[in-house]
Chains A and B, each alone.
Chain A
Amino acid sequence: MTGPLLEIEGLRITFPHRFGDFTAVQDFDMRVERGEIVGLIGESGAGKSTIGNAVMGLLAQPGRVSEGRIALDGQDLTRLAPGALARLRGRRIGMIFQDPMTSLNPLLTIGDQLSESIAVLQAVPATQARRMAVERLAGVGIPEPEMRMRQYPHEFSGGMRQRVVIALALAGDPDLLIADEPTTALDVSVQKQVLDLIRAICVDRSLGVILVTHDMGVIAETADRVYVLRHGKRVETGPTPAVLGRPKADYTRQLIGAIPRMDKRETRFSDPVRRVGEIDRWLLQGQSSEATGDYLSTTPLTMDFANPRSGFWGRRSVFRAVDVSGLSIRRGEVLGLVGESGSGKSTLGRILIGLQKPSTGSITYADHGALAAIRSAPARKAFRRDVQVVFQDPYSALNGRMRVDRILAEPIRYHGLASGKEVGRLIGALLERVGLPPESGRKYPHQFSGGQRQRICIARALSLRPRFLLCDEPTSALDVSIQADMLALLMELKRSLGLTMLFVSHDLAVVRQVSDRVAVMRQGRIVESQAAEMVFEAPQTDYTRMLLETAPRVEGLHALEGTLTERTPV
Chain B
Amino acid sequence: MLAKIRSDFWFEFLSSPVTVVSAAIIVVLVLACTFAPLVAPHTPFDPATISILDNNMPPAWVSGADGRFLLGTDMQGRDVLSAMLYGGRISLMVGLGAVALSTLIGMAVGLATGYFGGVTDAVLMRIAEIQFAFPPILIALLFNGVLKTTLPADLFARAAVPIMILAIGLAGWVQFARIVRASVLVQRSQDYVAACQAIGLPTIIIILRHITPNVLGPVLVLAMLQIAVAIVTEATLSFLGLGTPLTAPSLGALIQAGSQFLFSGIWWVVIFPGAMLLIMVVAFNLVADWVRDYLNPRLR
Residues of A participating in the B interface, judged by any CB pair closer than 8 Å = 17-20, 22, 350, 353, 355, 380-381, 383-385, 387-389, 391-393, 396-402, 410-411, 414-415, 457, 460, 464
Expressed in whole angstroms, the Cα–Cα distance for A20 and B199 within the complex equals 44
Q: Say whether, besides A20-B2, A399-B210, A401-B214, A464 and B199 are in contact (CB < 8 Å).
A: yes
Q: What chain B residues lie within 8 Å of A353 (beta carbons)?
A: 198
Residue of A nearest to B5 (CB): A19
Of the A-B pairs whose beta carbons lie under 8 Å apart in the complex, a sample of 28, sorted by A's number, is: A19-B2, A19-B3, A19-B4, A20-B2, A22-B2, A350-B194, A380-B200, A381-B200, A384-B199, A384-B200, A385-B200, A389-B194, A391-B194, A391-B195, A396-B190, A396-B191, A396-B192, A397-B190, A397-B192, A397-B194, A397-B195, A399-B192, A399-B213, A400-B214, A401-B213, A410-B201, A415-B199, A460-B195
Which B184-234 residues have C-beta < 8 A from chain A? 190-192, 194-195, 197-201, 205, 209-210, 213-214
On whether A355 and B194 interact (CB within 8 A), knowing A411-B199, A415-B200, the answer reads yes
B10 at the interface (CB under 8 A from A): no
Q: How far is the CB of A446 from chain B (nearest CB, A)?
A: 11
Chain B CB within 10 Å — which of A350, A399, A401 has the most?
A399
Listed residue (B11, B200, B213) with the most chain A CB atoms within 10 angstroms of its CB: B200
Q: Judge whether B201 and A414 touch: CB under 8 Å.
A: yes
A387–B198 contact, CB under 8 A?
Answer: yes
With a cutoff of 8 Å between Cβ atoms, the chain B residues found around residue A464 in the complex are 199
Find out whether the CB atom of A17 lies under 8 angstroms from the CB atom of B195: no
Which chain A residues border B2 with CB–CB below 8 Å?
17, 19-20, 22
Q: For residue B200, which residues in chain A have a CB less than 8 angstroms away from its CB? A: 380-381, 383-385, 414-415
Q: Given that A18-B11, A20-B2, A400-B214 are known contacts, is A384 also in contact with B198, CB under 8 Å in the complex? A: yes
Tell me the complex Cα distance, A402–B206, Å: 13
- The answer to whether A457 touches B195, judged by C-beta atoms less than 8 angstroms apart, is yes
> Within 8 Å CB of B191, what residues of A?
391-393, 396-397
Give the number of residues in B that approach A within 8 Å (Cβ atoms).
20
B11/A399 in contact, CB under 8 A: no
* 38-55 of chain B: CB within 8 A of chain A: none
Residues of A within 8 A of B4 (CB): 19
User: How far, in whole Å, are A20 and B195 apart by their CA atoms in the complex?
Assistant: 39
Interface pair A414/B199, CB less than 8 Å apart: yes
Contacts of B198 in A (CB 8 A): 353, 355, 384, 387-389
Interface of B, helix, strand, loop or mixed by DSSP: helix
Residue numbers of B with Cβ under 8 A of A are: 2-5, 11, 190-192, 194-195, 197-201, 205, 209-210, 213-214
In the assembled complex, which residues on chain B have CB atoms less than 8 Å from the CB atom of A20?
2
Chain A residues near B197: list those with CB within 8 A: 355
Closest approach, in angstroms, between the C-beta of B10 and any C-beta of chain A? Answer: 12
Distance to closest chain A CB from B175 (angstroms): 23
Bound Cα distance from A398 to B214, whole angstroms = 12
Task: Chain A residues near B199: list those with CB within 8 A.
Answer: 384, 388, 410-411, 414-415, 460, 464
Which A residue's beta carbon lies closest to that of B210?
Answer: A399
15 additional A-B pairs beyond A389-B194, A464-B199, beta carbons within 8 Å, are A18-B11, A19-B4, A353-B198, A355-B197, A355-B198, A381-B200, A388-B199, A389-B195, A396-B191, A397-B195, A398-B192, A401-B213, A402-B213, A410-B199, A457-B195
A22 to B5, CA, bound (A): 16
Question: Which residues does chain A contribute within 8 Å of B11, judged by CB atoms?
Answer: 18
Residues in B with CB closer than 8 Å to A355 are 194, 197-198
A453 → B minimal CB distance (Å): 11
Interface centre among A17, A350, A385, A389 (most CB of B within 10 A): A389
Q: What chain A residues lie within 8 Å of B214 (beta carbons)? A: 399-401
Q: Name the B residues within 8 Å of A414 (CB-CB).
A: 199-201, 205
CA distance A333 to B207 in the complex (A): 35
B209 proximity list for chain A (CB < 8 A): 410
A457 CA / B2 CA spacing, docked (Å): 28
Residues of the A chain whose Cβ atoms lie less than 8 Å from the Cβ of B201: 410-411, 414
CB distance from B202 to the nearest CB of A (A): 9
Expressed in whole angstroms, the Cα–Cα distance for A384 and B209 within the complex equals: 19
Which residues on the B side are within 8 Å of A17 (C-beta)? 2
Min C-beta distance of A23 to chain B, whole Å: 12
Could you tell me the distance in whole angstroms from the C-beta of B168 to the nearest C-beta in chain A? 31
The 4 closest A-B pairs by CB, nearest first: A384-B200, A397-B191, A391-B191, A19-B2
Q: In the bound complex, how far is the Cα of B206 from the Cα of A410, in angstroms?
A: 11
The closest CB in chain A to the CB of B1 belongs to A19
A217 and B3 alpha carbons, distance in the complex (Å)? 39
Q: Collect the chain B residues with CB atoms within 8 Å of residue A391's CB.
A: 191, 194-195
Min Cβ gap B104→A in Å is 20
Q: How far apart are the CA atoms of A397 and B190 in the complex, in Å?
A: 7
A353 CB → nearest B CB, Å? 7
Residue of A nearest to B199 (CB): A411
- The distance from the CB of A434 to the nearest CB of chain B, in whole angstroms, is 15
Q: Which residues of A contact B194 (CB under 8 A)?
A: 350, 355, 389, 391, 397
Closest to B189 in A: A396
The docked-state distance in angstroms from the alpha carbon of A400 to that of B194 is 15
Complex: how many Å from CA A410 to CA B208? 14
**Whole-angstrom distance from the CB of A395 to the nearest CB of chain B?**
9
Shortest C-beta distance, B75 to chain A (Å), equals 56
Q: Which residue of A lies closest to B213 (CB)?
A: A401
A399: chain B residues within 8 A (beta carbon): 192, 210, 213-214
For B8, the closest partner residue in chain A by CB is A18
- Nearest-neighbour CB distance to chain B for A473, whole angstroms, equals 11
A538 to B213 Cα, complex, angstroms: 52
